[in-house]
Amino acid sequence: MTATMPARSAAEDVARRLLDDGYVVVTGMLDAGRVKAARDDLDRVLAMTPTGRNLFEGYSTQRVYALFAKTRTFDEAAIDPLVLGVLDQVLGHYQLSAPVGIRIGPGEKAQILHRDDAIYPVPEPHPPLVVNTMWPLDEFTLQNGATRFIPGSHDWPPGRTPTGADEIATAVLSPGDVMIYLGSLWHGGGANSTDKPRLGVILEYAAGWLRQQENHCLAVPREVVKELPERLQELLGYNIYPPFVGYVDGVHPRKVLG
Ligand SMILES: O=C(O)CCC(=O)C(=O)O
């Protein structure tokens, strides 16, 4: 059982729990209507989405990349005030890095445990660089591929790696919850031994001075971006890291949106 906090919690309290434990689960973030709308729309997208190309993606798992080009159902979640309040405290200046819908299919094996921030060649220990959010759209259970993670592993000394199954916890979550976890927390998708897929969406954020994992300025058509809330435009990359990292022809990138 994973300890939880309610959606009415103060961002400072959620951020403290995140920094202390490496993860925090907040309940009641999406109501049933929003969960259903997101599921239905992602089902439409998933009907056109191939399965993974390697063990990390999972050969029985589908991944919806370029998420904000394909569905409008996570626009609000991406700029949820509580989530952004937590990110303000933990990352300071940040952007969306990897927003991905992940449907783990029946028979999928457990994904290798990893740290999301390990893709950046920054020597350890370092301040938080990456914060991920997992939004389950199905019940996440031990059997159907709930995210696995190692509590406290965000604080491990440099070079320590996972050693055994006994240290791994399972994120048993319900649709409407969000699990927020540091990029330094060891985690991975679970094995799905049921006959039904498990759907969740990760919205991963990274410090504003890093390169985003997905190049949203190319992945999301500009005509689509123009219609989005300004904060979401900024998070997709139409922003600068002060004083001017990310400029376009000498000006702020929001100017290209007109
Ligand atoms: O699907 C999950 O539960 C986690 C997936 C994950 O960590 C990843 O693909 O990087």
Chain segment 139-197, per-residue pLDDT in tens:
999 999 999 999 999 999 999 999 988 999 999 999 999 999 999 999 999 999 999 99
* pLDDT at residue 54, rounded to an integer: 98
> CATH for 4-209, among 2.40.33.10, 2.40.30.10, 1.10.3720.10, 2.60.120.620?
2.60.120.620
* Helices and strands of the chain, counted as H and E runs: 8, 10
Q: What is the rounded distance in angstroms from the CA atom of residue 26 to the CA atom of residue 177?
A: 6
The one-letter amino acid code at 53 reads: R
Q: What is the rounded distance in angstroms from the CA atom of residue 11 to the CA atom of residue 143?
A: 32
For a mutational test of ligand 1's pocket, the pick from 187, 192, 198, i.e. the residue with the most ligand atoms closer than 8 A to its C-beta, is: 187
Q: How far is CA 242 from CA 71, 96, 97, 239, 245, in A?
A: 30, 17, 18, 9, 6
Closest atom of ligand 1 relative to the 146 alpha carbon:
3
Establish whether residue 198 lines the binding site of ligand 1, counting it when its CB lies within 6 angstroms of any ligand atom.
no
Chain-wide mean pLDDT for the chain? 97
- Of the candidates 100, 131, 90, 96, which has an alpha carbon nearest to the alpha carbon of residue 234? 96
* pLDDT at residue 164, rounded to an integer: 87
Under a CB-based contact definition with an 8 Å cutoff, are residues 161 and 208 in contact? no
Establish whether residue 147 lines the binding site of ligand 1, counting it when its CB lies within 6 angstroms of any ligand atom.
yes
Establish whether residue 102 lines the binding site of ligand 1, counting it when its CB lies within 6 angstroms of any ligand atom.
yes
Q: What is the pTM of this model?
A: 0.97
